[in-house]
Amino acid sequence: MHRLAEPWDVWVPIPAGRFNRADPNSPASASPQQTILEKPFRMRKYPVTNVEFYQFVQETDFRTEAEQSITGIVYHPGRQEVRDPEGRILRETYTNPTLAANESAFWVCPDGHPDSLYWKPHHPVTQVSWHDAEAYCRWKSEKLGRVVRLPTEAEWEYVATHLGRLAADRFFWTLEEAVRACNIEETGRGGTTAGDHFPEHEVTAGVQDLFGNVFEWVQPTESPRRPSGRDPGKYRAVRGGSFLTPYKHLAPRQRLIFLANYCTSFIGFRTVLEDD
């Protein structure tokens, strides 16, 4: 199992630098301000995969929040296969896609079915909360003897704009290019893909699968917007979009806010490694 995880533990060096960035809590029309990242760091080339999270769980006996107290949210694409007793597909039925709570869903069964992860060891791990991602980072830090953590929003956006060379308020690919490069709604997958499913590119500084596939938890370095009167400490931001995100909502600046204990089949995470 460790041999399966090792090829995915790849880090891309990101230099220090500066770029223009608007406050994510401000209106889209707000003028960007210069943001300085004073220290270089390394960002994972791919999101953390199922096989890597399995290694973490095996070594620590960790139980995710979806296994203890939180009900996972599952995306149902509306397509269902009707099979005979031998497993042959008899017909397919279609209904409207839905998001629904499923008490059987957790990272091993992200869709709530026991076979959810068959043939998916290299897909991004999902059904993990922000707290679960933080626990993984602590374990990885101990293994490497170096600080491993979630990226800040500024770090994530810096990489997503090709180290500040691209605009943050609009996506850099056309729709036709995007469906060949990332897993979004228009790609038509209806679920996750392996981190290396699409061709490699250099647009995001060599980091792959940054847009689409799964949203990615980030560090709470800015106060996220939240429903009025709610505790801001309970909320965290995600970046990058997922297989459910339509093309028109893709941009390096885009973010969504969820409860930190939210677990679903379209949110995962990647990590950064602080340089010595």
CATH of the domain at 28: 3.90.1580.10
| Alpha carbons 253 and 98: distance in angstroms, whole number | 27
pLDDT of residue 26: 66
pLDDT of residue 202: 87
pLDDT of residue 163: 94
pLDDT of residue 82: 60
Joined tokens for residue 196: 């290396």
Domain residues for the domain of 232 are 2-274
- Under DSSP, is residue 142 helix (H, G, I), strand (E, B) or coil? helix
pLDDT of residue 56: 96
Ranges of residues in the chain with a pLDDT under 50 are none
Contacts of 49 (CB under 8 A, 6+ apart): 5, 8, 121, 122, 123, 124, 125, 195
Prediction pTM value? 0.88
CB 184 within 8 A of CB 250: yes
pLDDT of residue 170: 82
pLDDT of residue 61: 97
Provide the number of structural domains found in the chain: 1
**Angle at alpha carbon of residue 48, lines to 138 and 232, rounded to 5°:** 60
- Under DSSP, is residue 173 helix (H, G, I), strand (E, B) or coil? coil
